[in-house]
Amino acid sequence: MHCLVIDLPGMKARLIIDCDPGHDDALALMVAHHFAEVLLVTTVSGNAPVDLTTANALRVLDLLEVATPVYSGAAEPLQGAPRYALHVHGADGLGGVDLPPPGRPAASGAVSQLIDVCEANPDAWLVALGPLTNLAQMFRLRPDLAERLPGISIMGGSAAGGNATPVAEFNIFADPYAAAVVFESGARIRMCGLNLTRQVMSSAGWLDTFRDQNNPRARFVVQLLTFLHERMVHLTGQAAAALHDPCAVLAVTHQQLFNFVPRPVTVELTGRHTRAMTVVDERPLPGSRPNVEVGYTVDSAALLSLIRTGILAGVSSI
């Protein structure tokens, strides 16, 4: 049963998306292009090497028939070796789908493009769906941008349990030093961590609602989630997947469906067992200085309805 979410016309949010496609990044790009105006897509090493995440971003945008500029970014974290999630997303980062190769090239120079587009569009939210390497490099070059951005919506971290380790979420785990730079930047941060995104789960039943749709985007999502569900069966025993990245997009376009609480959050950099944990301080200490709006609850049914609408409706010009 789908709950109907009436989407009132109004000013569309304008977004800049940094991502590492990745199955859920692909869904996030589809949802963002329906509910918002996407000014720029930048790519980063994460779910797969950056040449693959870049190609995958271009392939998804080709499916949407949009010419959103794509700039490739960091091939490795600020410190240490790259970490990938190919066991989840497949050898090319978008396993299970039969999209053609990219129809256009990406440009390089994500960080300088992020700076230029953020400066030129002071109303545009940043949406970070992968490791935060590009954003950290942007703030290292231009710390003043932290105060100028309306906000950064991050899929990353967790207020309760990890996935890459018992306590660390993958996007933070893949580049904890970059995450620390971003969390300490002074920018307004809205954190959609695993504790929140695991409330928005695709299922076989939800996927079935796409099968009778004569629509290239629906066919793509059936392939995409069939692959991801099969991987999840091996990893979790369940044929279901948390739709992590679309949450960070909808946390900007449909904030009213979420509950965010300001909290002090730090990134653990040295713990033998806790490296890359986002340490959320929930103590009601007088004088505590929250730096992050931590997401705790979301209207899951409404989000699944919006994600489905965004996928089926495609890019909207209104």
Which residues are known to be catalytic? Answer: 244
Q: Is 170 in the site for ligand RIB (CB under 6 A)?
A: yes
# residues contacting Ca ion (CB under 5 A): 6
276: left (phi over 0), alpha (psi -120 to 50) or beta: left
Q: Measured from the CB of residue 143, what is the shortest distance to Ca ion in angstroms?
A: 25
# residues contacting ligand RIB (CB under 6 A): 16
- Token readout for 10 is 């109004």
Q: Among candidates 166, 240, 165, 238, which has minimal Cα distance to 197? A: 240
Q: Is 46 in the site for ligand RIB (CB under 6 A)?
A: yes
CA distance 42 to 215: 27
The answer to whether the CB of 234 falls within 8 A of the CB of 244 is no
Residues 6+ apart with CB under 8 A from 227: 23, 90, 95, 96, 97
| Site track for Ca ion across 83-122, x = CB under 5 A | ----------------------------------------
User: Can you tell me which of 15, 17, 129, 159 binds Ca ion, judged by CB under 5 A?
Assistant: 129
User: Can you tell me which of 25, 268, 293, 299 binds ligand RIB, judged by CB under 6 A?
Assistant: 25
The answer to whether the CB of 94 falls within 8 A of the CB of 23 is yes
Q: Measured from the CB of residue 66, what is the shortest distance to ligand RIB in angstroms?
A: 20
Q: Measured from the CB of residue 288, what is the shortest distance to ligand RIB in angstroms?
A: 27
Q: Rule CB under 6 A: which of 47-76 touch ligand RIB?
A: 47
Q: Is 22 in the site for Ca ion (CB under 5 A)?
A: yes
Q: Specify the 3-state DSSP secondary structure of 19.
A: strand
Q: Measured from the CB of residue 116, what is the shortest distance to ligand RIB in angstroms?
A: 25
Q: Is 153 in the site for ligand RIB (CB under 6 A)?
A: no
Q: Is 245 in the site for ligand RIB (CB under 6 A)?
A: yes
Q: Is 244 in the site for ligand RIB (CB under 6 A)?
A: yes
The answer to whether the CB of 115 falls within 8 A of the CB of 57 is no
Q: Among candidates 65, 89, 29, which has minimal Cα distance to 246? A: 29
User: Can you tell me which of 13, 15, 23, 25 binds Ca ion, judged by CB under 5 A?
Assistant: 25
The dihedrals phi and psi of 215, each to the nearest 5 degrees, come to -155, 125
Dihedral (CA of 280, 122, 259, 195) sign = negative
CA 137 to chain centre: 18
The answer to whether the CB of 80 falls within 8 A of the CB of 178 is no
Toward Ca ion, which CB reaches closer, 83 or 142? 83
Q: Is 129 in the site for ligand RIB (CB under 6 A)?
A: yes
Residues that bind Ca ion (CB under 5 A): 20, 22, 25, 129-130, 245
Residues at the interface with ligand RIB (CB under 6 A) = 20, 22, 24-25, 46-47, 85, 129-130, 155, 163, 169-171, 244-245
